[in-house]
Amino acid sequence: MKKRGILHTQLASCIAALGHKDLFMIGDAGMPIPQGVPIVDLALCGGVPSFKQVLDAVLEEAELEYYYLAEEIQDKNPLIEKYIYDVLEGIKGERIPHIELKRLSKEVKFAIRTGEFTPYANVILRAGVAFEA
């Protein structure tokens, strides 16, 4: 039995299959997932698991090089925005209009749905490489 890290079989498999430059998304319970994008649905009930819990677990497993947030998070969910900036410190990212984030979500390799019930708690992450060239 695996004793640490992500135990969810589907999520662990999706992360292990990431290649350099692959995009994936962590979204709140209300984020629309485009048809055809595989969903790792972790939502149990409102707030469980939280966006923060899922992002923290993913950061322990995946190497990242870039991220995208919705511009609207700045006004609508500044606590989550600050959290994302804090835990992704040193990783480049940008804010784009929410409509563009939804458009970009069509290109993700998979999407993780959390139980988060706060607005704009969504991030698209780009996989990096775990070694130096």
Q: What residues act catalytically?
A: 20
| Distances 67 to 3, 45, 59 between C-alpha atoms, Å | 29, 26, 12
Task: With beta carbons less than 8 A apart as the criterion, state whether 102 and 129 touch.
Answer: no
d(CA 7, CA 66): 25
> Strand, coil or helix: what is 78?
helix
d(CA 54, CA 42): 9
